[in-house]
Chains A and B, each alone.
Chain A
Amino acid sequence: MTSRAGGHAWVFGDDINTDLLAPGLYFKAPLEELSRHCLEAVNPGFAGSVQPGDVIVAGRNFGMGSAREQAAQVLVQLGVGAVLARSFGRIFYRNAINFGLPVLLFPQAGEIIPGQRLEVDARRGTVRDLAMGQSFTVPPLPEHLLGMLEAGGLMPWLHRRLAARREAAQDV
């Protein structure tokens, strides 16, 4: 995982919630099966056609709702490279970074046409629309979150922290 992504745009509206991303009905199923139902209520073709690196572009409050981490995990499982939205549900936002999935505030979401090729750089805070030759500047992530993202998420970060702790214990 990195703070960069490139792929085709999948465009969604406002208030895409966690029940749409990871429906409770399939909650006990393995992640692979759950991910096949991701967003099916609003775009039945999405889970079957999304390609690695593709970018989700959405309106306000993407990922609103429950704490279920599967809402972010299914997107990683499907290979989504980044999510750009006007705003995010707070737990989804945190979960995404913890899984190494770049999430960026994108006030210009309405200017993106479905299927356009986008390049996203979270560290520089840029989104490029290759076909339209447009470049957008977006608020970059705080340094703390970029570090987590570039480490690959919370688990690699914890690995590092625990290794440092063990090393320090041995030095004593």
Chain B
Amino acid sequence: MNVAGAPPAVGLADGLTLAEKILARASGRDSVRPGEIITCRVDLALLLDSGGPRRIWPRLRELGAGIWDPERVVLVTDHFTPAVDAASAAILKLTREFAAEFGIRRFFDMQGIGHVLLAEHGLLQPGMFACGGDSHSSNGGAWGCYISGFGAIEMTGVVVTGEIWIQVPDTLRVTWEGRFADGVVAKDVMLALCRDLGMDNAFRVIEYVGSTIDAMPMSERMVLTNMAAELGADTGIIPPDETTLAALRAAGTEPDAGALGWRSDDSAAFLAEHRYEAGALEPQVAAPHSPANSGPVSQAAGTPIDQAYIGACVGARLDDLRMAARILRGRRIARGVRLLVAPASSRIMAQAAEEGLLTTLTEAGAYLLPTGCGACAALGAGVLAEGETCISSTNRNFQGRMGAHSASVWLGSAYSVAAAALTGRITDPREFL
């Protein structure tokens, strides 16, 4: 499933950040400077059922245009799967017809969330420049590529021309050193960073480095780049290393020989550099209605909840199901509380079944939902009623995000969500480890 054209980092000027190198290569130049507006050639375009064919196809008709290169397009149904009414069924039907009409071979229909599927199928490589029709497309930046989210109208331009304009962002470097305490994970890092760096980082790329990140598996790294969207950044990016290459090979893609050359030069200029100690971090939760309203879980302990939700690209990976199972094994969730689990892909669902995680979770009282974006964006099963409170392993808790306007959503790691399901109140998960 290798997408052609994973490029080497050669012939570029010195003193560039990783993001600048990729943008220079994609725009056919040897250098770029922050603030410049450039036109980039797109290596890969991710279209989803949400803002994909249903919004792009009518515009292609209006333009009398086709798709520049169907081999570089990946199409996924995830936001409206499975159909819950005639409207969502019609959107899915149209998406399937679009795949057939334009001969899109990489069409993943009801197999999981697009951001997760790109990784599972080894479709992202260091040095690539990619665009996705969804804000959390930044998820893929963990693979050392520049992948950013855009609206459907912009993706129309991408699939017609194979190009897009970019205002070269500044790079903000975030360094994490040391080891986490047990019960602390990448999600806690991002909730802390939303508070610390704010959510207003447009025209910036967040580059994550340091020994903490070196030790992370790809799945945890993708949490960091996924939630670069919550920081408001153009994207997040992590320089590739042996972990990246091994994961690519495991996904069936042989990395380019020069893949490890995609990293910031020692002489690169960063807008700012922030350093953190992993060992000092406690499990975090974010209070309604912003990921930046975060703090140590202990400060929110005791807040009663109605629903606990483990779902989404960022929060229902195999790691998350393992975290929840570790807390819930041999225990039972509190009366009057519902725990919903929507694994992020079919493969994760199968692996979780094989490991016995689904049994552990359902025996503890969890209610298993289909894979897909689901309640994270109030599109699928599990939405909230007026006045209800939920703790969720998802990435966004804006007012109305998961249902009724007066519902309250707290964000936390799968550990924190599972612990809250056990007690019926927000709880420090370390009590159950």
Q: What residues make up the interface of A, taking CB atoms closer than 8 Å to B?
A: 15, 17-20, 23-25, 27-28, 40-41, 60-61, 64-69, 72, 87-91, 93-95, 98-99, 142, 144-145, 153-155, 158-159, 161-162
B151 adjacent to A28 (CB under 8 Å) = no
Can you name the residue of chain B whose Cβ is closest to the Cβ of A155? B59
Q: How far is the CA of A107 from the CA of B129 in the complex (A)?
A: 33
A19 adjacent to B398 (CB under 8 Å) = yes
Candidates B59, B65, B153, B377; contact of A66 at CB < 8 Å: B377
Q: How far is the CA of A74 from the CA of B356 in the complex (A)?
A: 46
Q: How far is the CA of A142 from the CA of B200 in the complex (A)?
A: 20
* Cβ-based interface call for B234 (8 A): yes
A41 adjacent to B399 (CB under 8 Å) = yes
Candidates A15, A69, A142, A161; contact of B151 at CB < 8 Å: A69
A158 adjacent to B156 (CB under 8 Å) = yes
* Cβ-based interface call for B423 (8 A): no
Q: What residues make up the interface of B, taking CB atoms closer than 8 Å to A?
A: 37, 50-51, 55, 59, 62-65, 80, 85, 87-88, 91, 132-135, 137, 149-154, 156-157, 160-161, 165, 167, 199-200, 202-203, 232-234, 290, 377-379, 383, 396, 398-401, 403-405
With A41-B400, A69-B51, A144-B37 given, is the CB distance from A95 to B151 under 8 Å? yes
Q: How far is the CA of A64 from the CA of B149 in the complex (A)?
A: 12
B232 adjacent to A64 (CB under 8 Å) = yes
Q: How far is the CA of A28 from the CA of B79 in the complex (A)?
A: 11
| Closest chain A CB from B29 CB (angstroms) | 16
A67 adjacent to B153 (CB under 8 Å) = no
Residues of B within 8 A of A20 (CB): 398-400
Can you name the residue of chain A whose Cβ is closest to the Cβ of B234? A90
Residues of A within 8 A of B383 (CB): 25
A158 adjacent to B160 (CB under 8 Å) = yes
Candidates A61, A65, A98, A145; contact of B396 at CB < 8 Å: A65
A94 adjacent to B150 (CB under 8 Å) = yes
Chain B contact residues: helix, strand, loop or mixed: loop
| Closest chain B CB from A30 CB (angstroms) | 10
Residues of A within 8 A of B199 (CB): 15, 61, 64
A67 adjacent to B400 (CB under 8 Å) = no
B202 adjacent to A98 (CB under 8 Å) = no
Residues of A within 8 A of B379 (CB): 24, 27
Q: How far is the CA of A68 from the CA of B134 in the complex (A)?
A: 7
Q: How far is the CA of A153 from the CA of B63 in the complex (A)?
A: 14
A91 adjacent to B150 (CB under 8 Å) = yes
Residues of A within 8 A of B62 (CB): 155
A69 adjacent to B152 (CB under 8 Å) = yes
B153 adjacent to A87 (CB under 8 Å) = no
Residues of B within 8 A of A72 (CB): 151
With A19-B399, A27-B379, A68-B51 given, is the CB distance from A162 to B63 under 8 Å? yes
A23 adjacent to B377 (CB under 8 Å) = no
B151 adjacent to A65 (CB under 8 Å) = no
Residues of B within 8 A of A91 (CB): 135, 149-151
The 8 closest A-B pairs by CB, nearest first: A69-B151, A24-B378, A90-B202, A95-B151, A19-B398, A28-B87, A67-B135, A61-B200
| Closest chain B CB from A26 CB (angstroms) | 9
B37 adjacent to A142 (CB under 8 Å) = yes
Can you name the residue of chain B whose Cβ is closest to the Cβ of A42? B399
Residues of B within 8 A of A94 (CB): 150-151, 154
Given A66-B377, A98-B154, A144-B37, 18 other A-B residues pairs in contact with their CB atoms under 8 A: A15-B290, A20-B399, A24-B379, A25-B400, A25-B403, A41-B405, A61-B232, A64-B232, A65-B135, A65-B396, A67-B132, A69-B151, A89-B202, A98-B153, A155-B63, A159-B63, A162-B65, A162-B160
Q: How far is the CA of A161 from the CA of B80 in the complex (A)?
A: 33
With A17-B398, A25-B400 given, is the CB distance from A68 to B151 under 8 Å? yes
B153 adjacent to A99 (CB under 8 Å) = yes
| Closest chain A CB from B324 CB (angstroms) | 25
| Closest chain B CB from A42 CB (angstroms) | 8
Most buried by A among B65, B151, B398, B399: B151
Q: How far is the CA of A88 from the CA of B199 in the complex (A)?
A: 10
Candidates A24, A69, A162; contact of B401 at CB < 8 Å: A24
| Closest chain B CB from A99 CB (angstroms) | 7
| Closest chain A CB from B284 CB (angstroms) | 19
Residues of B within 8 A of A99 (CB): 153
B398 adjacent to A67 (CB under 8 Å) = no
Residues of B within 8 A of A88 (CB): 202
Q: How far is the CA of A71 from the CA of B41 in the complex (A)?
A: 27
Most buried by B among A28, A145, A154: A28
Q: How far is the CA of A19 from the CA of B232 in the complex (A)?
A: 15
Residues of A within 8 A of B85 (CB): 28
Q: How far is the CA of A67 from the CA of B396 in the complex (A)?
A: 13
A66 adjacent to B154 (CB under 8 Å) = no
Candidates A25, A93, A161, A162; contact of B378 at CB < 8 Å: A25
Q: How far is the CA of A162 from the CA of B161 in the complex (A)?
A: 9
Residues of B within 8 A of A40 (CB): 405
Residues of A within 8 A of B51 (CB): 67-69
Q: How far is the CA of A136 from the CA of B383 in the complex (A)?
A: 44
B398 adjacent to A98 (CB under 8 Å) = no
A89 adjacent to B232 (CB under 8 Å) = yes
Q: How far is the CA of A155 from the CA of B64 in the complex (A)?
A: 12
Q: How far is the CA of A41 from the CA of B401 in the complex (A)?
A: 12
Can you name the residue of chain B whose Cβ is closest to the Cβ of A73? B153
